[in-house]
Amino acid sequence: MALCIRKSPNVIRILKSKIGSLVNASLTNSHSTPFRAEDLRNPDGVLVAQPTLFMNRRYKAEEGFASQRKVDVLNFPGGKVAFTHEMNFISESYEERIPCYRVLDDSGQIIECSNFTEVSEDTARKMYSNMVTLQVMDTIFYDAQRQGRISFYLTTLGEEAINIASAAAVTSDDIIVPQYREPGVLLWRGFTLQQFANQCFSNRHDQCKGRQMPAHYGSKEHNYFTVASTIASQLPHAVGAAYSLKMDGKNACAVAFFGDGGSSEGDFHAALNFAAVMDAPVIFICRNNGWAISTPVSEQFRSDGIAIRGPAYGLRSIRVDGNDALAMYSAVHAARKVAINEHRPILIEALTYRVGHHTTSDDSTKYRPVDEIELWRSKQDPVVRFRKWIESCGWWNEGSESELRNNVRKQVLNAIQVAEKAEKPSFEDALTDVYDVRPSNLVEQEKWLRDTIKRHPQDYPSC
Amino acid sequence: MAIGFTRYAKRSLLSICSQSKRELSTHLEQDGKKSLNLCSAINQALHIAMDTDPRSYVFGEDVSFGGVFRCTTGLAERYGKSRVFNTPLCEQGIVGFGIGLAAMGNRAIAEIQFADYIFPAFDQIVNEAAKFRYRSGNQFNCGGLTIRTPYGAVGHGGHYHSQSPEAFFCHVPGIKVVIPRSPREAKGLLLSSIRDPNPVIFFEPKWLYRLAVEEVAEDDYMLPLSEAEVLREGSDITLVGWGAQLSVMEQACNDAEKEGISCELIDLKTLIPWDKETVEASVKKTGRLLVSHEAPVTGGFGAEISASIVERCFLRLEAPVARVCGLDTPFPLVYEPFYVPTKNKILDAIKSTVNY
Ligand SMILES: Cc1ncc(C[n+]2csc(CCOP(=O)(O)OP(=O)(O)O)c2C)c(N)n1
Ligand SMILES: [Mg+2]
């Protein structure tokens, strides 16, 4: 696509007009005047000041109906709908697929006339360093699982740009509601390599107390909801969280991540619809990586991906090249403005590829061509592409590269050594946190368990 | 992981042996029997179900390439993509689709990838599958529906790859809940479940997929539902369990025997509708009952068994019914050894019940 854009100024114009609308709309949309969210706690204030707030704000064309002949319009409770004498079924697909917004071409050069958000040198360097760190951490943790040192792991390989660029484009006040392949967001927010290692080794320093499988991170301090393995169940939570941010008048939104597979769950549909109806400031970021374990997207849905579903629910949507960190950064940055200033949910479909196996329990060569994996691992690597760009900006060179990789490698190796040696969580925490306080059944069970351990210490790890 | 686990310390009636590297193990053919692991036994049953009824279908997440546990290996190649297929990632869709398919006179064999992920389908199971026959005055039913799903501990599954949710479904009149203990049982019970004229949830002990190996007849055979089996006769106490837990209970029985306690061990096999009579007869003989399951003790199916037996055998009981079950916590990763009902927990309970 990059090439065709370069060659054809016409396409650029068309794309700019379409893609640009996400960015521009936030500034020019006359339909919903930005309002201060504090007003929302005062229902009268809201109703007086914002008469359009609780009205359907999407169908501009309705205003034109008044001047039309009466018979042409059905005025039903959902609004006015024009009649037509033609029996036209809406097509199940559009002639053209939704284009994919991209800023950097395959060789890491900015595509002419691209509409994107500027990134400072510092931010760009930090983004790149974080992408590399994520990659190195993944490689070493993955090997640690293969060596039997941790029980499970899953990598984010191939999806580093989505992770890091979206993290960079929001602020740490924004609430992250993750699936499981977004540890890069936590990394960006300052969760340390030691903290990642502690969770994966289920040691005493894991904030989640060793209760969940490796790679199920969570940190209140970093506004990052704790991961659950269940697919898509987090999506409605993001809407509730976003609604709270709106009601509290916070300058923040919720950012929910999910996969192509997740878009099939009922919770996905519930979340999109709720988000639209509640005018919730939430950004849904779908990592469409082509696969849900062994199921290819062709067996997951017949729609043109995920972005197309947004308008059906009343969400502004965009499809982005997920391996283009600049495009991801720009799209999320713009989406955040709209979400917060206009209290609108936004859907972003990031096209990418799951370069690794689904998890350490999977061997993806059983169900997908090795060539396909190789292509994405090499030619489409988002980290390499971003590196080419920062190098061409003069912000990075071979020296910084080897220094970074050496440092990170050492840090990760050190982190897992420390994590491995650390004590396991203490027995005290086996029966806490089920409720805020322990009810009598758990008090009784703990006592019984302590007696059992005394009788059969050989059955229990010492903790 | 540093925390080890000693559930399968020695061979038991399930002939557990380690062969995790083998995919679908078939060896030692004798008299129409093959030594099969539980996964292969399930696979064989599915082949037979597909062969014997052209109106049967197998579907679920990732089943085409053989499923994440390899139980559906070879089916798509053999029976084609129209009868064996991947579904979108949506459990409510899988079960709802299965109900419709079954209502049209087909055998819908649905897979839910892990029992931990059955809950998005809860409404379809509880309000639709279970009540279709009753609410339509028996005009309609979805008896052809069978939901297969792996359940239970595996040593490192944490919250969402370990649960035993059978009790939720035992509270729902209209469905059957079946749990096999071994390869031979799995094959016969799965074929019965598929062919039973009622919707069945078939929980597969995933711990045993590769660990449990036994001789399995190659032919098409069925084992009766709602019939418990006395696995071992004894006179001092009755133990009731199902699925993977039975091998732990059997080890406890062996150890108890060394201390002079004679245990009777019963495999319930079908949890609803369950075979009260077999359990009742046993408890009337032994005067004592112990139930054990991995699910949390509170509200577990052990509670139902306990209440029913107290109702029926009150005057014959010489001790309170003992329940050795999971703790009342979510299923924890690092605390799994504390959470699960181990052999020694059962042994302790056997002794204290007998010495009550
Ligand atoms: C409710 C539920 N059903 C099934 C699963 C098993 N499962 C885990 S990951 C996965 C595929 C998810 O694919 P996708 O959403 O595309 O995310 P990706 O792994 O590609 O990042 C499945 C089926 C689950 N975790 N939760
Ligand atoms: Mg995916």
Residues of A in contact with B4 (CB under 8 A): 461
Strands (E) in B248-328, as ranges, are 263-267, 270-272, 289-296, 322-326
ipTM of this complex: 0.92
The string of pLDDT tens digits covering residues B330-353 is 999 999 999 999 999 999 999 999
> pLDDT value at position A43?
52
Mean pLDDT of A54-66: 54
**Structure confidence by residue, pLDDT tens digits, B276-317:** 999 999 999 999 999 999 999 999 999 999 999 999 999 999
Cβ proximity of B171 and B165 under 8 Å: no
- Give per-residue pLDDT as tens, B249-263: 999 999 999 999 999
Question: Inter-chain contact B65–A294, Cβ cutoff 8 Å?
Answer: yes
Q: Which of B48, B75, B45 is nearest to B60 (CA)?
A: B75
Instruction: Check if the beta carbon of residue B87 is closer than 8 Å to that of residue B115.
Output: no
Of A41, A58, A59, A367, the active-site residue reads: A367
- Residue A408 CA to residue A412 CA, distance in Å, equals 6
- Return residues 326-365 of A near B (CB < 8 Å): 361-362
Report the mean per-residue pLDDT for chain A: 89
**Is residue B221 scored above 50 in pLDDT?**
yes
Tokens of B19: 């062969």
Does the annotation count A367 as an active-site position? yes
Closest-lying ligand 1 atom to the alpha carbon of residue B61 = 23
| Cα distances (angstroms) measured from residue B105 to each of A369, A396, B131, B140, B148 | 38, 66, 17, 10, 19
**Closest by CA position to B207, among listed B175, B179, B176:** B179
Closest CA to B43 of B32, B34, B31, B55: B34
Q: How far apart, in whole angstroms, are the C-alpha atoms of residue B245 and residue B7? A: 10
Strand B26-30 versus strand B33-37 pairing type: antiparallel
Chain B residues whose CB is inside 8 A of the A367 CB are 65
In the chain, the amino acid numbered B192 is: S
Apex CA B157: angle with CA B156 and CA B163, to 5°?
A: 135
Q: Which ligand is nearest the CA of A163, by number?
A: 1
Check residue A70 and report its DSSP letter: G
Calpha distance A31→A242 (Å, rounded):
21
Q: By the 8 A CB rule, do A364 and A358 touch?
A: yes
Which numbered ligand comes closest to the C-alpha of B61? 1
Q: Is A315 left (phi over 0), alpha (psi -120 to 50) or beta?
A: beta
CA distance B166 to chain A (A): 19
Model confidence at A128: pLDDT above 80: yes
Q: What is the DSSP letter of A110?
A: B
Number of continuous H segments (helices) and E segments (strands) in chain B: 13, 15
Structure tokens at A337: 């403005």
What mean pLDDT do residues A372-386 have?
A: 97
pLDDT (average), residues A202-211: 97
- Integer Rg of chain B from CA: 20
Alpha-carbon Rg of chain A, whole angstroms? 25
Say if residues B34 and B26 touch (Cβ distance below 8 Å).
yes
Residue from the list A209, A210, A295 with its beta carbon closest to the beta carbon of B89 = A295
Cross-chain Cβ contact B65/A456 below 8 Å? no
- Taking CA atoms, what residue in B is nearest to A425? B334
Residue B272 identity: I
Atom of ligand 1 lying closest to residue A359 CA: 19
- Give the confidence band of A64 by pLDDT, cuts at 50, 70, 90: low
pLDDT, tens digit, for every residue of A433-447? 999 999 999 999 999
Residue B157 distance to chain A (closest CA, Å): 7
**Considering only CA atoms, which residue is closest to atom 20 of ligand 1?**
A292
Helix axes B301-313, B276-286, angle to 10 degrees: 60
How deeply is A3 buried, as exposed, middle or buried, from its count of CB atoms within 10 A (0-12, 13-18, 19+)? Answer: exposed
Predicted confidence at residue A70, as pLDDT, reads 55
Dig out the tokens for A326 from the structure.
């600049």
Distance CA A168, CA A158 (A): 17
- Residue B332: its chain A contacts at CB < 8 A? 210-211, 430
Q: Which residue has the higher pLDDT, A460 or B8?
A: A460
Q: At A189, phi and psi to the nearest 5?
A: -80, 0
Cα separation, A278 vs A343, whole angstroms: 9
What residues line ligand 1, using a CB cutoff of 6 Å?
A: A 181, 229-231, 259-262, 287, 289, 291-293, 354, 358; B 61, 89, 91, 113, 117, 120
Instruction: State in Å: Cα B143 to ligand 1 middle.
Output: 29
- Region of B31 (left: φ > 0; alpha: ψ -120 to 50; beta: rest) is left
DSSP state of B129: I
**Least-confidence region, from B19-23, B175-179, B187-191, B217-221:** B19-23
CB atoms within 10 A of CB A394: 8
A199 touches chain B (CB under 8 A): no
Question: Which residues, including other chains, have CB under 8 Å from residue B254's CB and lie 6 or more apart?
Answer: none
Ligand nearest to the CA of A156: 1
Length of chain A: 463
Instruction: Return residues 235-274 of A near B (CB < 8 Å).
Output: 261-262, 264-267
Average pLDDT across chain B, whole number: 93
